[in-house]
Amino acid sequence: MKTIILPGYSPHNKDWAEETKSKLHLGHEIIVHNWLHWTKGSFSLSRELDSILKIFEKEKINIVAKSVGTRVAMYLITKNPNQMNKLILCGIPTKGESKVAKKSYSEGLSLLSPSQVIVYQNNKDPFANFAEIKKFISSINPKIKVVRKSRSDHQYPYSSDFQKFLTK
């Protein structure tokens, strides 16, 4: 078993990912994925997927994903659904997303049991508020748990909640 943390798009999300990693105690390897565009070039989904897929071989995996990381997680699930153990999604950004991007969530989440997935969304996240995400996720599978958090930003410092979900 391994856990990978897929941060948000901008480089300041590396701090969130590293802090989350330091607070999770899972008894197995936890990997923070550093987006390739942080050091060179622009974001390339296929390049990121190739980089991430090399890490896992045939092991079961957990994913903790924030923002753009949630969309990348959907593509990882469709490539290897049987490898998925648990999935945590934080700050799903649906504002301005294309229908293709939104469809990726439906395709990825349809391959998992609702008990494998939990979504944390801040009540007033500027990239999509809780009500929008609750409606969106419920349209995919109403049995997936969507947890409302009281913040009004795009920060997700909920390591203790992540720990509980990943170890139950």
The pLDDT of residue 28 is 95
Tokens for 67, please give them.
């923002």
Supply the range of the domain harboring residue 35. Answer: 2-167
The pLDDT of residue 98 is 66
The pLDDT of residue 95 is 77
pTM over 0.85: yes
CATH number of residue 150's parent domain: 3.40.50.1820
Q: CB under 8 Å to 32, separation ≥6 — which residues?
A: 4, 5, 7, 14, 17, 18, 21
The pLDDT of residue 78 is 92
Ranges of residues in the chain with a pLDDT under 70 are 96-98
109 SS3 class:
helix
- Cβ-count burial of 167 within 10 angstroms (0-12 exposed, 13-18 middle, 19+ buried)? exposed
The pLDDT of residue 56 is 76
The pLDDT of residue 21 is 98
Q: How many domains does the chain have?
A: 1
